[in-house]
Amino acid sequence: MTPVSGAAFVWISLIKILVVFSGLLTLIAFWTWVERRGAAWIQNRLGPNRVGPEGLFQPVADGLKNFIKEETLPPFSDRFLFVLAPMMAFTPALITFAVVPFASPLPTPWGLVNSAIADLPIGFLFILAISSLGVYGVVLAGWSSNNKYSLLGGLRGSAQMISYEVSMGLAAVAVLVLSGNITMNEIVARQQQSLWFVLPLFVAFMTFLIASFAETNRLPFDLPEAEAELIAGYHTEYSSMKFAMFYIAEYSNMVTASALLVTLFLGGWDIPFTAWDNTPPWTVLKFVATFAAFWAKVLFFMFGYVWVRWTLPRFRYDQLMDLGWKVLLPVALAYVMVVAVAVWALEALGVAFGVPYALALTAVSAVLGALLIWGLDHNRVIGGSASRQRARWRADAARAKGAA
């Protein structure tokens, strides 16, 4: 079946835009309920349970509240930029999702319809370009509010997002080296031909995962909104729907980051342990099954965001920047070079791309990952309490000797 074209392509694209973005906004609204209930479960309390069964209508009540609340405008703020900033934070997160394929192609009477809204040949470059625009909303919100707490939050947010964006991009470069393509559908297809890239590119996966937490301003990287220090950071002065748009932007970034992790490292819409969904003929059943597989993986990562938020404490700002520039960036740079050399060596040896090829890279990543964890651990976890106690004894003995 040939891809849809002509007038049908325009109409189907408009329908995809309406359906996908409406579905995303519905998921975002529902996920605020999931996060609050998840936090209550972790903290051994109830959470929202009054509005609707099990509190399911609480997001509707919150949305209605934001619609009818009073709009405030600080007297000495830059009005135009103050209103523009929430839209600049909200829009890139949604637009980035447009190039992510979330299911196998769908056969229709007019032709084959790709699941991505825009199946761009430069899909990955589009993601890097558009996702980097979100920082402007954060900076403008902090600066235009004419509030010292907002300004500090905006400066922190811009430094953090720029710092971790470099590591995230380098981690994704390893995917491009292995896949040999920057089209999102082709990256999924290459994983279907071998193994999901989470195994042969494990270090890149962990780097991308950590950087995605920082890029979405989620704990333990929520320094731009640190309530104990900056009230609410860059959106301190916002209220009503402008305030809600920052929350929608944060959850949109969560969905997009999770979708990118799934597409780049977990096979995208590929169903594990079967090749049934990998090749034509494309059917409605394959579309539904791959759609369910993709979103199951995405929701797994989104629950991880919730779990980490209510489990780990916040970093200090110097720790956050040290992790970004002194750890993740050198690791990402070195790993790209290692992957490039490993790919060159495998091709020089005549190993065809497939499962043996991926297993060889998995062995390399396993060794590098173990060395990295051992190097960063400093006997805090791997050595256990006995090693820490011995280290304290040695330090006490050295101090006693020096005093003597």
Which strand (E) or helix (H) includes residue 121?
Answer: none
pLDDT at 245: 87
pLDDT at 224 over 80: no
Q: What is the pLDDT of residues 194-211, one digit of tens each?
A: 889 999 999 999 999 999
Q: How far apart are the first and last CA of the chain?
A: 86
**Beta partners for residue 191, in sequence order:** none
Closest by CA to 131, choosing from 88, 93, 157, is 93
Mean pLDDT over 385-399 rounds to 71
- The distance from CA 359 to its chain's CA centroid, rounded to whole angstroms, is 26
Classify residue 20: in a domain, yes or no. no
Specify the pLDDT at position 379: 58
Give domain status of residue 167, yes or no. Answer: yes
**Is 290 inside a domain boundary?**
yes
**Residue 282 lies inside a defined structural domain of this protein:** yes
> Could you read off the pLDDT of 257-295 as tens digits, one per residue?
999 999 999 999 999 888 888 888 889 999 999 999 999
DSSP code string of 23-77: HHHHHHHHHHHHHHHHHHHHTTS--S-SSSGGGTTHHHHHHHHHHHSPP---TTS
Residues with Cβ within 8 Å of residue 236, at least 6 apart in sequence: 145, 147, 149, 150, 153, 230
Cα 119 to Cα 106: distance, rounded to the nearest angstrom = 14
In a domain, 123, yes or no: yes
Of 49-53, 127-131, 387-391, minimum mean pLDDT range: 387-391
Averaged confidence pLDDT in the chain:
86
Rounded-to-integer distance, Cα 249 and Cα 3, Å: 33
As for how many domains the chain has, the answer is 1
Is residue 233 in some structural domain?
Answer: yes
Tell me the whole-structure pTM to 2 decimals.
0.88
| Residue 173: alpha-carbon gap to chain centroid | 16
Range of the domain at 135: 7-14+63-296+307-403
Residue 78: is its pLDDT beyond 60? yes
More confident residue, 236 or 1: 236
Instruction: Answer whether residue 155 is part of any domain.
Output: yes
Average pLDDT over residues 348-367: 91
Encoded tokens for 143: 């600066």
Q: Is residue 104 part of a domain?
A: yes
